[in-house]
Amino acid sequence: MAKVELFVNGRAVTGEAEDRTLLVHFLRENLGLTGTHVGCDTSQCGACVVHVDGRAVKSCTMLAAQASGSTITTIEGLSASGELHPLQVAFRENHALQCGFCTPGMIMTSVDMIRRHPNGLDEATVRDQLEGNICRCTGYHNIVKAVLDASDKMGKGAVKAA
Amino acid sequence: MYETQYHRAASVEEAARLMGEAEDGKFLAGGMTLIPTMKQRLASPSDLIDLRRIEALKGVTVDGRTVRIGAVTTHYDVSTNEELAKICPAIANLASHIGDPQVRNMGTIGGSIANNDPAADYPSALLALDATIITTQRSLPASDFFVGLFETALEPNEIIVAVEFVAPDKAAYKKFPNPASLYAMAGVFVAKSGDNIRVAVTGAGEGGVFRLKDAERALAGNFSPSALDSLAVDPDVLLSDMHASADYRANLVKVMAKRAIAEITNRPM
């Protein structure tokens, strides 16, 4: 068994897990953070994306033991104050989801994307950067709109807070 | 995934020792290939020795024209290194198109070349750049390092420390990615330094990455896309699979090579 020590959504947590336990399973089953989804389980779909030390990572393709010592942000940790994060607002306002299964991963990927593009995004870049996230409802159009909307709004001084 | 024992090494010496003690160990870097392979039960190492946190293996150093990239440097860090982008934008650009953003945040150059997937991007760059692969035991040229499909010259206990190359005068990489997997169905890296021209092909060779010496000869006298108009790429040495026949790949190799030359020379194909 591996001892797993993480700093998740601002909280220090420790737990025991088999060495082969994937980070996504540790988050969901040991910590009860079920906002992070398991979609394809083959590194394709991005439903499991979380931030590990500030970068978007597919948590189905990382061992919990590998992540030990890291700072993790999941969809539950995105809005610290109880207000929705600007990307969550943009997804709601632009109706960027149908069934919603891919949404946590889409949002975590998009937060990372906007952070890496502080000077703004265009549609082609957003589509390219969403390469690792699949929406089975094929709702990409509104997802792209939402990311562009959030990027515009967050660009006005809010990028650092993301 | 079958059971395994995870170990985190703090140094290459510790990693080598842990590997020596393991029954059937594997080194783990970004894990972007190894973990999916273990999940499919196509690999079942008794022990995983994680190299990702070894500080000495991290980072890009540029000294004049000499570039050194530590083995566990991620694709993202290669793609965004400003000094590297100034003197060898082709390799930064290559790194920015590997897999997807999440893969680039974890995947490493050392992991990529140690795995030597016949469709991986980096092997073509290192072969065309005549890079040196530095390991815990020796230094060897890329042409000796890449042996065949998923096969390298690495000994079981040997760890890649870094890759080094001298930035070329000009270089470009063009690939035709499989639209689902994003792996190259044909990728061509062209590097030119003075009269020395090297063209390396990934994604297409049945023995993995290889140099396209016919193209190098054709370009020696006339470094322009049209120099490759009459180039015949031999399909007998190319992969044929569900994604593309060898004949189709032969055409893709030629087109990608011409696109790379067109980019370098800023001339139309």
Whether A159 has a pLDDT exceeding 80, the answer reads no
Q: Is B71 on the interface with A (CB under 8 A)?
A: no
Using DSSP's 3-state secondary structure scheme, residue A63 falls into strand
| Chain A residue closest in CA terms to B40 | A42
Both tokens assigned to B108: 């490493």
Q: What is the mean pLDDT of residues A11-32?
A: 97
The CA–CA distances, whole Å, from B80 to A117, B39, B55, B183, B263 equal: 12, 31, 19, 21, 21
Whether A140 has a pLDDT exceeding 90, the answer reads yes
From B35's Cα to the closest Cα of chain A, the distance in A is 6
Whether A149 has a pLDDT exceeding 70, the answer reads yes
Residue span(s) of chain A under CATH 1.10.150.120 come to 86-157
From A80's Cα to the closest Cα of chain B, the distance in A is 24
Check CB contact under 8 Å for A65 and B105: no
The HSE-up count of residue B258 (CA atoms within 13 Å, CB side) is 17
Question: CA B158, CA B155: separation in Å to the nearest integer?
Answer: 5
CATH number of A86-157: 1.10.150.120
> Which chain A residues have a beta carbon less than 8 Å from that of B53?
69
Greatest alpha-carbon pair distance for chain A in Å reads 47
Check CB contact under 8 Å for B32 and A131: no
Whether A162 has a pLDDT exceeding 70, the answer reads no
Whether A160 has a pLDDT exceeding 60, the answer reads no
Cα-Cα end-to-end distance for chain A: 35
CB interface of B with A, residues 95-134, below 8 Å: 99-103, 105-106
Both tokens assigned to A47: 């439903």
Q: What is the mean pLDDT of residues A34-43?
A: 95
> Using CB atoms within 10 A of its CB, is residue B17 exposed (0-12), middle (13-18) or buried (19+)?
middle
Check CB contact under 8 Å for B32 and A61: yes
B interface mutation test: which of A50, A61, A106 has the most B CBs within 10 A?
A61
Task: Residue A100: name the closest of A18, A17, A39 by CA.
Answer: A39
Q: Which domains does chain B have, with CATH numbers?
A: 5-50 (3.30.43.10), 55-166 (3.30.465.10), 170-265 (3.30.390.50)
A interface mutation test: which of B75, B100, B108 has the most A CBs within 10 A?
B100
> Which chain B residues have a beta carbon less than 8 Å from that of A129?
101
Q: Work out the pLDDT band at A161, boundaries 50, 70, 90.
A: very low
Using DSSP's 3-state secondary structure scheme, residue B160 falls into strand
Q: Is A41 on the interface with B (CB under 8 A)?
A: yes
Q: For strands B170-177 and B184-193, give the pairing.
A: antiparallel
Q: Is A152 on the interface with B (CB under 8 A)?
A: no
Using DSSP's 3-state secondary structure scheme, residue B61 falls into strand
From B46's Cα to the closest Cα of chain A, the distance in A is 11
Question: CA B188, CA B258: separation in Å to the nearest integer?
Answer: 9
Q: Spell out the residues 6+ positions from residue A4 whose beta carbon is closer than 8 angstroms to its own.
A: A14, A15, A16, A17, A21, A26, A30, A64, A65, A67, A68
Whether A7 has a pLDDT exceeding 50, the answer reads yes
Task: Residue A85: name the closest of A59, A58, A112 by CA.
Answer: A112
- The pLDDT value given to residue B211: 97
B interface mutation test: which of A5, A21, A63 has the most B CBs within 10 A?
A63
Cα-Cα end-to-end distance for chain B: 48
Cβ atoms A149, A93 nearer than 8 A: yes
From A82's Cα to the closest Cα of chain B, the distance in A is 27
- List pLDDT tens digits, range A96-119: 999 999 999 999 999 999 999 999
B interface mutation test: which of A1, A3, A20 has the most B CBs within 10 A?
A20
Both tokens assigned to B213: 């010496």
Q: Is A114 on the interface with B (CB under 8 A)?
A: no
**ipTM of the assembly?**
0.93
The model's pTM: 0.95
Check CB contact under 8 Å for B5 and A109: no
> Which chain A residues have a beta carbon less than 8 Å from that of B182?
131
From A62's Cα to the closest Cα of chain B, the distance in A is 7
Smallest Cβ–Cβ distance between B101 and the set A56, A66, A68 belongs to A56
> Which chain A residues have a beta carbon less than 8 Å from that of B5?
19
Of residues B221 and A20, more confidently modeled: A20
CATH number of A2-77: 3.10.20.30
DSSP tally for chain A: helices H, then strands E: 6, 5
Q: Is B27 on the interface with A (CB under 8 A)?
A: no
Whether A80 has a pLDDT exceeding 80, the answer reads no
Both tokens assigned to B143: 């042409």
- The pLDDT value given to residue B181: 83
Q: How many CB pairs under 8 A join A and B?
A: 70
**In what side-by-side order are the strands of the sheet with B196-202?**
B170-177, B184-193, B196-202, B210-211
**Blockwise average pLDDT, block size 10, chain B, 269 residues:** 97 97 97 97 97 97 98 98 97 97 98 96 98 98 97 96 98 94 94 97 96 97 95 95 96 98 92
From A81's Cα to the closest Cα of chain B, the distance in A is 27
Task: Give one DSSP letter per residue of B164-215, joined into a string.
Answer: EEEPPSEEEEEEEE-TTT--EEEEEEEEEETTEEEEEEESSBTTSSEE-HHH
Residue span(s) of chain A under CATH 3.10.20.30 come to 2-77
